[in-house]
Amino acid sequence: MWKFLKEMPKVELHAHLNGSLNTNSLRDLAEKVYGNTSEEFSHLCARFVNFEKDSNLDKCFEKFAFVHELTSTAAGLQYATELVIRDFANDNIQYLELRTTPKANKNYLRRDYLRIVLDTIKRSRKKYPNILVKLLPSINRSEPVAVAEETVALALELAKTDPDLVVGIDLSGIPTKGKFTDFCGVLDLARREGLKLVIHCAEIDNPPEIKEMLSFGMSRCGHGTYLTEEDFAQMKAANIPIECCLTSNVKSGSVSSFEEHHLKRLMESDAPRVVCTDDSGVFDTSLTNEFLLVVETFNVTRDQCIDLTLEAVKHSFASEQERQQMALKVEHYVNSLQTD
C-alpha cells in the first residue's frame, strides 16, 4: 500500500511554506546558507518535530518562530522554497498549491519576499519538471488589517504579471487572534479581482465566527474541525471542500484521535473533501503518509485513494487544461498498475 500511495501522482492543496520544511531540510538550510553544523542545532531540529501528548495549537505556533529565523534572509528564503518544492516532488506530488505569509524585516520587504518565492518557483520548474507549483499569499490574522491590505495589493500586482502562478489568498494564523470581520473588506477585494479564497475556518470552536465565515463564503475551507452537521450540509450544498489535515489536527490537539477525524463524516455523507498535509515539516508527515493514515483508519481502498486525488484535481485552482493533464496522469498511473 505504501508503494501504491507513494507512487500515486498526488495533489497537495494545503501546504504552508515555512511549515513544510522537514528536519533534514532544516539541517540542509542551516548548513548551506548559514554554515551551521552544530550539534546544538541538530538538537533543536529534533525538538522541533517532537510533540508532547498534551500539545495544543499555541505550542504548534511557537514552532514556526524557529523556521522563520532560518528564512529571514533572502538566501535562506530562496533555498527553503527550493527545498520544500524538492521534498514535495520527491513525494510524487504532481501539483502543489503553496501558501506563505509575506514578511518584512531588515533583509527584505513583503514585495521582495513574494518575488523571491515566485522566482524560485519559476526556476525550480527545470529541476523538478514533474511538479506544477502555484502560489497563494497568506494573510496572518494576528497582524493588522493594513498588512493584509498590502499582501492583497501585492498578490494582485503579481497576479497581473503571473496569472498562472498567483491564484489565490489564504487567511491563516493563530485562530484566537484577530477578528474575521475586520478582514472581510480586503478579502472581498481580492475575490472581486479574481483571486480564489482559502480560509482557515472552524479550527477552534467559535460559532459566531464560523457563521460569519460561512456566510462570507470561500472556495475551499481549511480544517473545518468545529463545523456542525448543519454547517457541513451548507458546505456540501455550496460544493466547498474541506481541506482535511489529519496529523496536523491530531498533533495540534484540535481533534482527539485519527478515528474521530471529521473526514469520516465527510466521506459517509459524500461531501467534498481533500486530504492535505498543512505543515508537513512541523508535523513530521507527508501526503503519502496522510493517505496511509486515511487508509488504515477508515479502511479506504486504493480506488477511493484515486478518487480522493481526482477530487483534489477538481478543486484545485489550476486551469482547465492543467486539471485535465493532472487527471490524465492519474489515469495513466491506474492503467500502469493494471498492466503490472
Ligand X SMILES: CNc1ncnc2c1ncn2[C@@H]1O[C@H](COP(=O)(O)O)[C@@H](O)[C@H]1O
Residue ranges binding ligand X (CB under 6 A): 16-19, 60, 64, 100-101, 138, 140, 172-173, 200, 203, 248, 252, 278-279
Residue 89 interacting entry, from ligand X, Zn ion, none, C-beta within 5 to 8 Å by type: none
Q: Which does 17 bind (CB under 5 to 8 A by kind): ligand X, Zn ion, none?
A: ligand X
CB-nearer residue toward Zn ion: 76 or 173 = 173
Minimum distance between the CB of residue 105 and Zn ion, rounded to whole angstroms? 22
d(CA 300, CA 298): 5
Closer of 88 and 333 to ligand X (Cβ):
88
- Binders in 265-304 for Zn ion, by CB under 5 A: 278
The nearer residue to ligand X, 57 or 327, going by C-beta atoms, is 57
Determine contact, residues 159/189, Cβ cutoff 8 Å: no
Q: 279 with 249: CB under 8 angstroms?
A: no
Of 12 and 278, CB closest to Zn ion: 278
Query: Catalytic annotation on 320?
Result: no
Find the catalytic residue in 82, 97, 150, 203: 203
Beta carbon of residue 57, minimum distance to ligand X (angstroms, whole number): 6
Q: Residue 340 has which C-alpha cell?
A: 503490472
The C-alpha cell that represents 110 in the structure block: 513583503
CB of 281 to ligand X, least distance (A): 10
What's the min distance (Å) between Cβ of 17 and Zn ion? 11
The partner in contact with residue 203, picked from ligand X, Zn ion, none with C-beta cut-offs of 5 to 8 angstroms by kind, is: ligand X
* 84-119 CB burial, b ≥16 within 10 A, e <16: bbbbbbebbbbbbbbbbbbbeeeebebeebbbbbbe
| 253 contacts 57 by C-beta, under 8 angstroms | yes
Active site residues: 203
Query: Which residues lie near Zn ion (CB under 5 A)?
Result: 278
